[in-house]
Structure 1
Amino acid sequence: MYDQLHAFATRLSRYAAWLGGAMMLFAALMVSADVLARRLFGLTMGGSDEISGYLFAIATSLAFPYALLTRSNVRIDAAYALLHPHVRAALDLLAIICMALFSALVTWRAVLAVGETWNSGARAITPLQTPLIFPQSLWLTGWIALCLCALLVLWGVAAALLRGDLRRASELAGAMTQEEEIAAETGTITIAERKEA
């Protein structure tokens, strides 16, 4: 059951990351068009910087769960590979606990911020006067997804360690090995995708 849930979360988070990438591309095109129009014709679209800021925040939060589930997040692992497997497993458990606590804290604060925005009907103090509930709600969605994915990975790592399965715990939360990084960069199948298939 866990593997299917992990595969489903990975697939869903991949779609969210693609959506975030599309948002970033749209923001880049919009800002480029605005700069060119201003330079060539003296016209401005107005609000492109504001909208691109919203899109950047939303796209970033949507990418976090995918980075976590595919272990693409940055880990300082200079000495990690030299450690005993039990020490690495303990560090992986500590890392995912910290990630779960951090994401829960940020998500809780984000929920409070969005609730305050909803209650006050806050708008951006810009010419667009964007109702802030829309970009903030989409941004919050990414944080909620990260929080749930961190709990999912924590569950998997804890269960694997209770069974004494250090390899499985490392597959879920350990730093990527050089071979795994090369496979990810060259486009060969990743561990997460192999389990998903």
Structure 2
Amino acid sequence: MELRLIHRLRGINKGVALVVGFGLLVCAAFVLADIIMRQIGTSLGGTEEIAGYAMALATSWGMSYTLLELGHVRIDLLRTKFQSFGRAVFDVFSMIVMSGVIITIAIKAWPVVERSLVNGSHANTPLETPLIWVQMPWFAGWVWFAVMSTLVTLAALSLLIKRRHTETESFVGAFAEQETLQ
């Protein structure tokens, strides 16, 4: 059951990563077009602002994909000294801490979004972008990451309780060790 959940989450996150990647390609094309237009004396304007928004969205949504691809940085100095049970305990502990941090970020992001929504805030830039257009998908990305990390933590904890220690490494282990295990 746990591994099936992780497989489904990986599939969803791959789809999200493709959408985010496509968005970044569109943003890059927009910036490139603006650079070319500047060479002939004109400009689309606002490329810095739009690129900043794209990076914020890519970060919040990309974190979930990175989690299941074991791409987050881990300092595993102690973890490597243990057998599978000890490594699994460190993995679950790290996931509990990560989930707590991400849930806190998602909770703390809401007042920012709420304030923009209530005040009808616009960016203090020439584009005067309604901030809610950017902040809602940004916030949704952090909420998705919080949900994802919580589900991954629960799956890893379940496997730890069931004494299926080695199975946790495939989705919460340290990446450097994954290369040596294969």
What TM-score, normalized by structure 2, do the two folds share?
Answer: 0.91
Q: Which residue of 2 is the match for residue 147 of structure 1?
A: 146
Q: 1:10 to 1:110 in 2, by over 3 A?
A: same
Q: 1:84 to 1:8 in 2, by over 3 A?
A: closer
User: In the alignment, is residue 21 of structure 1 matched against residue 18 of structure 2?
Assistant: no
Q: Which residue of 2 is the match for residue 194 of structure 1?
A: none
Once the two structures are TM-superposed, the CA of residue 133 in structure 1 deviates from its matched residue by: 0.3
Q: Secondary structure of 1:72's partner?
A: coil
User: In the alignment, is residue 116 of structure 1 matched against residue 115 of structure 2?
Assistant: yes
Count of aligned pairs: 182
Q: Which residue of 2 is the match for residue 166 of structure 1?
A: 165
**Distance in 1 between residues matched to 2:37 and 2:143, nearest whole Å:** 38
Percent identity reads 30
Q: Which residue of 2 is the match for residue 186 of structure 1?
A: none
**Distance in 1 between residues matched to 2:180 and 2:61, nearest whole Å:** 22
Gaps of 5+ in 2: none
Q: Secondary structure of 1:129's partner?
A: coil
**Paired residues of 1:69 and 1:149 also in contact (CA < 8 A):** no
Q: 1:80 to 1:100 in 2, by over 3 A?
A: same
**Paired residues of 1:19 and 1:59 also in contact (CA < 8 A):** no
**Paired residues of 2:2 and 2:158 also in contact (CA < 8 A):** no
Q: Secondary structure of 1:46's partner?
A: coil
Q: Secondary structure of 1:164's partner?
A: coil
What TM-score, normalized by structure 1, do the two folds share?
Answer: 0.84
Provide runs of 4+ in structure 1 moved above 4 Å.
Answer: 177-183
**Paired residues of 1:23 and 1:56 also in contact (CA < 8 A):** no
Once the two structures are TM-superposed, the CA of residue 180 in structure 1 deviates from its matched residue by: 4.2
Code of the aligned partner of 1:109: K
1:26-51 deviations in Å (ceiling 9; x for gaps): 2222112212211x211111111111
**Distance in 2 between residues matched to 1:77 and 1:107, nearest whole Å:** 26
